[in-house]
Structure 1
Amino acid sequence: MIALVLGLLLTPPSDAPAAVIRTSAGEIVVGLDVERAPGTTCNFLRYAAAGAYDGGAFFRTVVFETDANPSQIDVVQAATPAGSDDPGFGPIPLERTRDTGLRHVSGAISMARGEPDTATSSFFIVVEDTGNLDFGGDRHPDGQGFAAFGRVLDGMDVVRAIHAMPATDEQLDQPVRIETVALLTDIPARCRG
């Protein structure tokens, strides 16, 4: 019963928007939860539809065992060609996991940010369950957590391979190029306009 409840909390609905992140290391298919994290999902879809991730890269890997932060995490982070500080289409409001019910479990896709309401285009994928990225967690000093907005449906082997690549100070020695982020479904009506 607990597994069923957790599955409902972590898996986007079957009619949810989906995209494939085609990288030089392989493909990662993500399902996005527009119902529980509409602002963050629509933001990601806007960048993908505009081709803004094309030519970008997975540039960062954070490995629990070597993470210098006292609140260790296991993630890989990606950005547009303009980098993780790309102002892109501007910042979006933070959709806290406290409100969405989504969690930073293995395979979750989430938005990187500095302060609350500053996320733009850079996203990360969680490699191992990492509750300290949720609301109330201590990875960010403000305790507001990060905005999970979906999960990997296929390609965790690619995510794990990127996570294990050589890195210096969390920066991949050879970033993994994002060829394209292609939408597999129509953009939901709530994301248009």
Structure 2
Amino acid sequence: MKQLIFLFLLISLIACTETINSGNPHVVIETKYGEIELELYADKAPATTAAFLSYVDSGFYENTSFYRVLNVNNQPSNAPKTEILQGGLWRTKNEKARSITGIPHESTGKTGVKHKDGVISVARLAPGTAGSEFFICIDDQPGLDEGGENVEDKLGYAAFGKVIKGMSVVRKIYMQNDRNQYLDPPIAIYNVRRK
């Protein structure tokens, strides 16, 4: 019996230590379908995480939207497929979105954060142009990693966190009606806040 109690205490201590030591910030995306909680990997992708948190802390994401969806039905049949849900300022605060300075590119080769189901990443054109626009992966998307087939320059996108609660909300939004890859209508993001 003493051995079982000792084992239970040891496991509890390890679990508490891991939670305390992670030190990674959490944010919550508030939508009409519910909340999505993310853990951001400040330890692996510090520049991207710091930039995203600066937008959160500045209130940039208040009254914005999830506005774009890529699924197997709305992409050219001869192109590699990607499944993502994209959001940010672009549709609601376009001038603000365009004014944001690009984030130095933190590739998946550098960070080790791959585009797996529920991973959040930043949208970009050329490396170093990512700003306020982000996307969440639906299922694993290796084509978005460094060297992947879905990015012409083969440098991939900068993944920097993961959904830890509310993936059902992400999938519900992802399944809404779209027209030419844009949600119709966009789904409101009431706010993104630190937890």
| Partners of 1:85 and 1:140 in 2: CA distance | 26
The structure whose residues are more often helix, as a share, is 2
Q: Identify the residue that residue 34 of structure 1 maps to in structure 2.
A: 42
Aligned residues: 172
- Judging changes above 3 Å, is the alpha-carbon distance between structure 1 residues 165 and 84 closer, same or farther for their aligned structure 2 residues? farther
TM-score (norm. length: structure 1): 0.85
Contact 2:74 2:180 (C-alpha < 8 Å) held by counterparts = no
- Are positions 1:72 and 2:77 aligned together? no
The percentage of counterpart residues that share the same residue type is 37
Flag the 1:72–1:150 CA change in 2: closer, same or farther, 3 A. same
The structural deviation recorded for 1:49 is 0.4
User: Which amino acid letter does the alignment assign opposite residue 112 of structure 1?
Assistant: A
From 65, 89, 93, the counterpart of 1:82: 93
User: What is the root-mean-square deviation in Å for CA atoms of aligned residues?
Assistant: 1.6
Q: Which runs of 5+ in 2 are unaligned?
A: 1-20
- The answer on 1:103 being equivalent to 2:142 is no
**3-state DSSP of counterpart to 1:39:** helix
Matches of 1:158 and 1:170, distance apart in 2: 19
User: Does 2:67 match 1:56?
Assistant: no
Quote how far apart the aligned CAs of 1:85 are.
Answer: 8.3
Judge conservation of contact 2:71–2:83 (CA < 8 Å) in 1.
yes
Please list every run of 5 or more consecutive structure 1 residues that lacks an aligned counterpart in the other structure.
1-12, 185-193
Rate the CA distance shift 1:126–1:117 in 2: closer, same or farther, 3 A: same
